[in-house]
Structure 1
Amino acid sequence: MSQLSTGLTAAERENLKFLLSMAAGGIISGHAQGISKELRDKALGVSQQSLPKLLAGPREKYPTGIVFHGRAPFLSDEQLTTLDQESRECRSRAERFMDHYVASGAPAAREASLSEPVRAFLGETVGAVAPTRRANYLYYDEPGLGIDPHVDKDEFSLNILTMLEHRSGGGQRSELILHPPGQDAIHFHLQPGESLVFFADSVTHQRTRTVADESIRLVSFGYRTLEGNS
């Protein structure tokens, strides 16, 4: 697969990535029960291991796709308070995108995504990136919302995902799951103020479905890695 990709145009490589993403997501979601487990495991391994190899950049340094997890040094308490308030104000204009709601174009979120602390952090960890100037508030505040296993487009190579609020009535809760190639799934229950920085274009990830009395608000900053980074 990686050899095949070297002779493809950027658009063709993106299509190949989409097909591999759909294959991996379908197998993880249980849509390949008509074939043997051995063949399913092999197909999943090929699709997941091929995804990072289609893309340039520093992914080899991060075999799980995870660059950082925890309380981010690039967001101050004041910024988090501002983002939390702005996300609440933007909920009324959020539009449904597949199985969650998205609000774009918020000034405080865009300013935070372009800030010098974020740029310095990414420069030190993964090298130079190109900001997409898309900072989105994400809402999962109805039962059954979530995202099936997938990878993102090249323009969202690197994602900074920050939890602003996660309320639930107890018991089962929605979670973010990453499926690194050849490794066990990694489950995240981000706490308010925590961030996850990961290569969203090459590691299959999902958010499991919300249940009754559950509400999630996040802010997502997207960046495109630049070829030649190491």
Structure 2
Amino acid sequence: MPTGELEYKLAELAAKLDKPERENLKLLLSMAAGGLISGHASTDDREAQKQALDIAQKSLPLLQRNPKHAVPDGIVHIGRAPFFADDDLEALDKESRLYRSHAKRFHNHYVASDAPVAKEIALSSAINEFLTDKVGPALPTNKANYLYYDSPGLGIDPHVDKDVFSLNVLTMLEHSGARKSVLKLYPNGTTPITLELQPGESLVFLADRVTHERTPTTGDENIRLVSFGYAIL
């Protein structure tokens, strides 16, 4: 079978699965893509690795609901977001500092959830109107997490997010110190888009279909972000 047909066979299989089974299939494809990007392949055949990664990357979007408006590379917005007022960013920055002591380690970074200010802002009409205009109706999933990468070696391996973060609004609150860690997106295979968000800037992207990673922190580097999750209807 030509490799160009395999992603559609996987999509046909996914259409016959229930939601938990589709999530498991998505997880397997995400792990495959992440492993190949990280160089953890069981073969030294570079062409086979490239083909396998290409299939995994092309299959992931086919397993998801499509936005009402085309977002070819999965990136909706990069930069200062029009839906955040200065007061919003100040409130998120303040709350994220207070909630650092509540954060729990999750793999190779720290996460604090259930912070009231973040949850309230995630439900704002300004964000809803922006997302609806860009991708069509999107439902808040009540997921608003503060993320902390504030000691050497913290990061997150290449992955895609679960359905509750199918549309992710990720906002930088602080990046101080060594500033070596970056966010990498892999919308089209092995060539990454490298982002160094400045405090107050946001990335809005289709996180359940674009493989992404945070490279490890070094030295005195300190990163704080807030992540809001939405589901595309």
TM-score (norm 1): 0.94
Per-residue Cα deviation, 1:124-174 (whole angstroms, up to 9, x for no partner): 11111111111111000000000000001112101000000000236xx10
Per-residue Cα deviation, 1:28-51 (whole angstroms, up to 9, x for no partner): 011015230000000000000000
Q: Which residue of 1 aligns with 2:136?
A: 127
Per-residue Cα deviation, 1:185-218 (whole angstroms, up to 9, x for no partner): 1000000000000011011000000001100000
Identity of aligned residues (%): 58
Equivalent of 2:194, from 170, 182, 187?
187
The SS at the match of 1:85 is helix
Q: Which runs of 4+ in 1 moved over 2 A?
A: 181-184
Equivalent of 1:104, from 103, 113, 121?
113
Equivalent of 1:36, from 35, 38, 45?
45
Cα RMSD (Å)? 1.4
Distance 2:211 2:177 in 1: 26
Q: Give the direction of change, closer, same or farther, for the CA distance of 1:59–1:3 in structure 2 (3 Å limit).
A: farther
Q: CA deviation at 1:182?
A: 4.2
Structure 2 unaligned residues grouped into runs of 5+: 1-9
Q: Which residue of 2 aligns with 1:117?
A: 126
1:176 aligns with 2:186: no
Give the paired residue count: 224
Q: Give the direction of change, closer, same or farther, for the CA distance of 1:98–1:59 in structure 2 (3 Å limit).
A: farther
Structure 1 unaligned residues grouped into runs of 5+: none
Distance 2:177 2:111 in 1: 20
Which residue type is aligned with residue 218 of structure 1?
Answer: L
Distance 1:134 1:6 in 2: 26
Q: CA deviation at 1:107?
A: 1.0
The answer on whether the counterparts of 1:141 and 1:216 sit within 8 Å (CA) in structure 2 is yes
Distance 1:33 1:5 in 2: 25
